[in-house]
Structure 1
Amino acid sequence: MTDTNHRTAMVKGLHDLAAFLEANPKVPVPRHGVTILYFPKRDTDAEMIIEVDRIATLLGTVTDPDDLVHGHYKACLAFGPVSYEALAILAARRAQHEADVSYSGCVVPDTTNAL
């Protein structure tokens, strides 16, 4: 599927979902909103930051410096409880995550007293 076809299908799908939810008010929706999350192609931190800055300009917004402490570089545009975010996870944060999950399966919880 080409980028143009994918984009067209995505926009149509969002419209169709909105129309469906509007026509079926008994169908529950998430309490905390919905986020369309775009990740730039993994590259150097500098290249991913350039891409998120480019998207921030298209969105008419700025990046959120508070996310840098978590190793994220993000631009966001909200439409009420629905938002679009462009998010780059920077190299140091990805490395920390890999280190954290390297212990996966090594520690087994005691479930003898579990309900």
Structure 2
Amino acid sequence: MSVDPDHRTAFITGLRRLATFLEANPEVPVPRYSTTIGYCAERTADAEMCAEIDRIAALCGTKIDSGALAHDHYLTALHFGPVRYEAFAILADARARHEAFSTYHGCVIPDHTAVSTA
């Protein structure tokens, strides 16, 4: 994983500016539910992506989310109240399923029926 220090600095600065803005403008709403900032591992071999997420989990002091494994996502997360930082890898089987599903895009057109709101 290569880290662009300028991008990292700009990202952190942006987060701080957002927090300062929201704090100074209490009338501006914030999300009602949690917010996730996600880092997706660069696509490579599954073992390499998992090793990167394992490294990040060690840095964060977190574990791998075993529930995400059922969907072939390798994920760790750190919570700051309603704000969540997660690092994840989408493994080859999940990508293959998504690609197979996407091949139907545009081939099936559903009937559109008006739904009454009365």
Corresponding residue for residue 23 of structure 2? 22
SS in 1 for 2:38: strand
Q: Which residue of 2 aligns with 1:12?
A: 13
Shift of 1:12: 0.4
* Identity rate, percent: 57
> Which digits, 9 at most, give the CA deviation of each residue in 1:44-76, with x for residues without a partner?
100000000000001011111111101100010
3-state SS of paired residue (1:62): coil
For 1:82 and 1:112, the matched residues in 2 are separated by 39
TM-score with structure 1 setting the length: 0.94
Q: Give the equivalent residue in structure 2 for 1:83.
A: 84
Tell me the residue number matched to 2:42: 41
Q: Structure 2: 5+ residue runs without aligned partners? A: none
Count of residues paired in the alignment: 114
Distance 1:75 1:99 in 2: 27
Tell me whether 1:66 sits opposite 2:67 in the alignment: yes
Name stretches of at least 5 consecutive residues in structure 1 with no aligned partner: none
**Residue of structure 2 in register with 1:108 after alignment:** 109
Alpha-carbon deviations, 1:23-62, whole Å to 9, x = none? 1111111112211100111111000000000000010111
Q: Runs ≥4 in structure 1, deviation > 2 angstroms?
A: 112-115
Aligned equivalents of 2:102, 2:78: Cα separation in 1: 31
